[in-house]
Structure 1
Amino acid sequence: MTSTPSPVIVVAPDSFKGSASAAQAAAAMARGVRAVAGADARILELPMADGGEGTLDALLATWGTEPLTIETTDALRRPCTARYGMSQDGTTGIIEAAEANGLPQVSDVPLQPLVADTHGVGLIAKRLLDAGVDEILLCIGGSATTDGGAGLLTALGARFLDASGTPVAPGGGALSSVATVDQAGLHPRATAVTWRIAVDVDNPLCGPRGAAAVFGPQKGASPDDVTALDAGLRHLAQVLGADSLAGQPGCGAAGGMPLALVALLGAQMVPGAELVAAAIGLRGALEGAAVVLTGEGRLDTQSLGGKVVDAVRRTADPGARVVVIAGAVQLDAAACRDAGLTAAFSIAPGPAGLAELQADAERLIEDTAAQACAALGLGHAPGAAGR
């Protein structure tokens, strides 16, 4: 008698930031699945990313290449070292912007939201342009900046000038003073390459859901700072003749970094999770999968707007059971059902502080995956062990 093959179970989580990388989370979920479904369970581990932290590593693993390093500057223009990457054939470069302008790089000093800028990211892009790539993939999550990409373009040779023809100061606080943009000194290959910007949110550039209002406070912006930054981004869009971008979903990512690149370089915005999914072959892996486990640090409404959970739920087969494992679950059962999710589980075993959860994250992810698989009926019947 032919035995029925065990179902395919795919684990495709994002990182649990500050607790476990995507690869560590995937391995922990797989261990939890095996504890219930048995050693012969067919499990496929696919660490994911959404255009923010971990995207560089995910794509370099797919390409089979090692990270490169460059001496650049952080969001306050202090010297720092950043990683970037290139495909094996040298045609495509990848930048994880937070390597240069990320919040961790400036966590040793008080946050300066009005002056932080993306100049260091532009220095990495210049290196790739000099190397002759045909395409640049710019992953922009986790930034400390709200400058509309002006600093990046400055590093590539553009000049943002006030009414007197003087270059404006770095940072989003000076954007309202921009009168013209001089592109005469722009890198000669800046407009010749294809730019794809991997975004992990669908926020517009300006307004109550814009870059300054939603993400500014995380970068140290006061209410007055938020007002100034929002006005500066809107003004820069007008100067660039790109008013329509102010309301375009995704343009508010990373402090509006896409603005100047889309307006001046013709860059394309792409949901980061979808781009990573294509690079690692997620669609093919999910074909025929009976159960899909995904997850991230916190499951909330933003998770359904272009992040890893969103990409996984949209890619999975209609009949697959999609389960989310997260550090915190802020969607109720009805919201999960409406989103096409079978269930969501928090790794917290009870009242616990963030530090406690982070210290034991991998074991908790493993245990929660086991509990989820048992609830789905993937394991042996109670009492069957050892028979």
Structure 2
Amino acid sequence: MKVLIAPDSFKGSTDALSVAQAIEKGILKVSPETDTVILPMADGGEGTMINLVQATEGHVVDVQSVDPLNRAIKSKYGITGDGKTAIIELATSSGIDLLKDDELNPMITTTYGTGLLIKDALAQGIKDFIICLGGSATNDAGVGLLQALGYQFLDENGLPLELGGQYINRLATIDERKVMPEVKDANFEIACDVTNPFIGANGASYIFGAQKGATKEMIKSLDNGLEHFANIVEKQKSMSIHYIEGAGAAGGTAGGMLAFLNAELKRGIELVVDFVKFRDLLKQEQIDLIITGEGKIDGQTAGGKVISGICQLAKENDIPTIALGGSVEGELSELYTQGLTAAFSITNGPMNLNDAMTNSAYLIERQAEQVFRTLIRNIK
């Protein structure tokens, strides 16, 4: 019997590789002869970088960067095992979790730090990028990111714009003469699970501005700034980013990248599935069972999380799929329709969240063992 073990991380407690290894230990306790294949997974959100680094036996690069307020910080990005692709999570340098509540202000926050990570990878010869946009503290249309790569955003006096969303209204022209030459040969896949356009009532500023610290007055100003930016882009590059689905991700960073880089938006789970060649693995390895998992399994899991994506592919190949979760709650009928066979919580009795998270690897191993004992008995 060949079992593919392909979980996401249990966020806050156990990374995806450790989850997979715990599941494997539980299986091998029951049946040492079982053939297991470990493949850490991710959905394009938090943890995608480390999960893909682990899945490809890559490494993490530590680099000096800046936070959303342009303060010096230590940051990091991943490079895949073949040395060809950099995985960058915007949240590591431009994320909302890097700021205190009273520091949140999308008028002045910047994506410049994320641009420094891209710049470092380009300087190392990397040409392919996966950029995960979740968790931003910014609303600067990705201008900061692009400034770090050499793009000059100039006002009517020919002076460079200061960092932050509030200055975009002053944009008059964009000078690309000092852009890093490596940029033109680089390709960017953007993990983007939101469908919001760049501007308007459903755009970046109005939908996400408040959670980043913007008042109603700020939101209106920020949206006006993004519209002005989009108008300049359309005039200078003959490309309209105003209402592209997903262009509003990360305060318009997706739109800015689409306008100036060789970039493509993809749903997070689809990007990861394609990158790790998940479909090919199912066909080539003759998988009999898939065991996946993530920290919480509930009705929202069917909306593009790792378990959902795996279940749909497993169903196409008629492979049963078991999911383990820190908790299993609510109605799972949509997951069953997508191909899930059954879901199990790793907790076996009353315990607080801290205990469950602290002992998650042991709990995962033990539940995997119990599930596999049942399966082996039925198979025999």
With normalisation by structure 2, the TM-score equals 0.81
SS in 2 for 1:380: helix
| Mapped partners of 1:349, 1:232: distance in 2 | 53
Number of the residue aligned with 1:365: 364
Over 3 Å counting, the alpha-carbon distance change for 1:283 and 1:219 in structure 2 is: same
Number of the residue aligned with 2:190: 198
Is 1:320 paired with 2:314? no
> Is the contact between residue 199 and residue 253 of structure 1 (CA under 8 Å) also seen in structure 2?
no
Aligned match for 1:155, one of 130, 142, 148: 148
Number of the residue aligned with 1:79: 72
The count of aligned residue pairs is 372
> Is the contact between residue 49 and residue 273 of structure 1 (CA under 8 Å) also seen in structure 2?
yes
Number of the residue aligned with 1:44: 37
Q: Is the helix fraction higher in 1 or 2?
A: 2
Structure 1 residue identity aligned to 2:230: A
Displacement after TM superposition at 1:149 (Å):
1.1
| Mapped partners of 1:367, 1:114: distance in 2 | 49
Any gaps of 5 or more consecutive residues in structure 1?
1-5
Number of the residue aligned with 2:262: 266
Please, which moves more after superposition, 112-121 or 237-246? Answer: 237-246
Displacement after TM superposition at 1:314 (Å):
3.2
Over 3 Å counting, the alpha-carbon distance change for 1:248 and 1:90 in structure 2 is: same
> Is the contact between residue 201 and residue 305 of structure 1 (CA under 8 Å) also seen in structure 2?
no
Over 3 Å counting, the alpha-carbon distance change for 1:315 and 1:158 in structure 2 is: same
Q: Deviations over 1:169-210 (max 9, x none)?
A: 4233444444443333322332x2232233151432346665
Over 3 Å counting, the alpha-carbon distance change for 1:148 and 1:41 in structure 2 is: same
Structure 2 residue identity aligned to 1:259: G
Is 1:284 paired with 2:280? yes
Number of the residue aligned with 1:257: 253
**RMSD of the TM alignment (CA)?**
3.5
SS in 2 for 1:126: helix
Q: Deviations over 1:37-85 (max 9, x none)?
A: 5333333221112333333334444554432222111121111122234
SS in 2 for 1:189: helix
| Mapped partners of 1:122, 1:355: distance in 2 | 36
Structure 2 residue identity aligned to 1:276: V
Displacement after TM superposition at 1:105 (Å):
3.2
Is 1:126 paired with 2:125? no
Over 3 Å counting, the alpha-carbon distance change for 1:215 and 1:164 in structure 2 is: same
> Any residues of structure 2 matched to 1:184-195 within 5 Å, and which?
184-190=177-183, 192-195=184-187
| Mapped partners of 1:213, 1:330: distance in 2 | 31
Number of the residue aligned with 1:13: 7
Over 3 Å counting, the alpha-carbon distance change for 1:342 and 1:350 in structure 2 is: same
> Is the contact between residue 336 and residue 344 of structure 1 (CA under 8 Å) also seen in structure 2?
no
> Any residues of structure 2 matched to 1:203-352 within 5 Å, and which?
203-206=195-198, 210-212=203-205, 215-216=208-209, 218-221=211-214, 225-226=218-219, 228-241=221-234, 245-287=241-283, 288-299=286-297, 303-318=301-316, 319-329=318-328, 332-347=331-346, 349=348
| Mapped partners of 2:201, 2:277: distance in 1 | 36
Q: Deviations over 1:142-181 (max 9, x none)?
A: 3332322111011112233445555444233444444443
Displacement after TM superposition at 1:214 (Å):
5.3
> Any residues of structure 2 matched to 1:45-194 within 5 Å, and which?
45-61=38-54, 63-86=56-79, 91-107=84-100, 110-162=103-155, 165-190=158-183, 192-194=184-186
Number of the residue aligned with 2:25: 31
Structure 1 residue identity aligned to 2:3: I
Over 3 Å counting, the alpha-carbon distance change for 1:337 and 1:83 in structure 2 is: same
Any gaps of 5 or more consecutive residues in structure 2?
none
Displacement after TM superposition at 1:22 (Å):
0.8
SS in 1 for 2:182: coil
SS in 2 for 1:196: strand
> Is the contact between residue 204 and residue 246 of structure 1 (CA under 8 Å) also seen in structure 2?
no
Structure 2 residue identity aligned to 1:199: A
With normalisation by structure 1, the TM-score equals 0.80
Structure 2 residue identity aligned to 1:74: D
Aligned match for 1:22, one of 16, 19, 22: 16
> Is the contact between residue 297 and residue 325 of structure 2 (CA under 8 Å) also seen in structure 1?
yes
